[in-house]
Structure 1
Amino acid sequence: PNRKALRKCILSGPYKPTTILVQAIEATDDSQAIPKHIIVERLMNMSQENKAHFEAKKEAIHSILTGIRNEIYSNVDACQTAQEIWEAIERLQQEKYDWLADMDEEVDEQELEAHYSYMAKIQEVPTAESGTDSEPLKQ
């Protein structure tokens, strides 16, 4: 399926089987009468449209699972539907973005501290005890 259809399929939630009303059948010479009754839809008695929807859900789960890394897979292994998997991955991604943002701020602070430390060092004035020549160089 195309990306838009796959995304819609994932976000719409799991396929829910419907019930089918089976009309009464009168008795014949060869068979007994069958009263009107309701059965749960199964793959064998699904309409083409419902079967396509069901297959798209399976394809969505397969596509997600083949596209994720092992550490994410271990977190979504218990999910039953493509929608649950998608939501779990979104949560994991948000945690990752939050962590990266925190790390980025930490790195910025460390870089700033290193810069200030460097600037302070180059501005230090040598003293007589340091053994360095405090006279400017003559050209």
Structure 2
Amino acid sequence: RSWFLRYIDTRQNGDALRKYILSGPYKPTTVLVQAVAATDDSSAILEHTTVETPMNMSSENKAHFKVEKEAIHLILTGIGDEIYSTVDASQTA
């Protein structure tokens, strides 16, 4: 196994990090927002769908989203500056 995956295994959330790295990024889903009747203080809100954000996602999806950010950080800091700079400068990467 690579040194990187061995390092991932030492992390508190290593299983989640490994799952993200091996299976790919989290795909935001759409959320159905229920209609809300008008009140004296606010107007009515019609039923609609919206893209899931950290503010309205389930705790399980939020945990996956946070792990994704951590995994990206670990990958970028683990590959070394010269490799990162080469990939970052590439027009097709």
TM-score, normalised by the number of residues in structure 2: 0.69
> 2:67 is matched with which residue: 38, 56, 61?
56
Residue identity over aligned pairs, in percent, reads 72
Structure 2 residue matching 1:14: 3-state secondary structure: coil
Unaligned runs of 5+ in 1: 79-87, 89-139
Alpha-carbon shift at residue 69 of structure 1 (Å): 2.2
Which structure has the bigger radius of gyration? Answer: 1
What's the CA shift string for 1:20-73, capped at 9, x where partnerless?
101111122222221111111112222211111111001101111121222322
Q: Which structure 2 residues correspond to residues 8-47 of structure 1 after superposition, within 5 A?
A: 8-47=19-58
Structure 2 residue matching 1:51: 3-state secondary structure: helix
Question: Relative contact order (C-alpha < 8 Å, sep 6+): which is higher?
Answer: 2
What's the CA shift string for 1:63-110, capped at 9, x where partnerless?
1112122232234437xxxxxxxxx9xxxxxxxxxxxxxxxxxxxxxx
Unaligned runs of 5+ in 2: 1-12
The corresponding residue for 1:73 is 84
- Give, in whole Å, the separation in 1 of the partners of 2:16 and 2:61: 15
- Give, in whole Å, the separation in 2 of the partners of 1:55 and 1:22: 23
TM-score, normalised by the number of residues in structure 1: 0.49
Provide the alpha-carbon RMSD of the alignment: 2.0
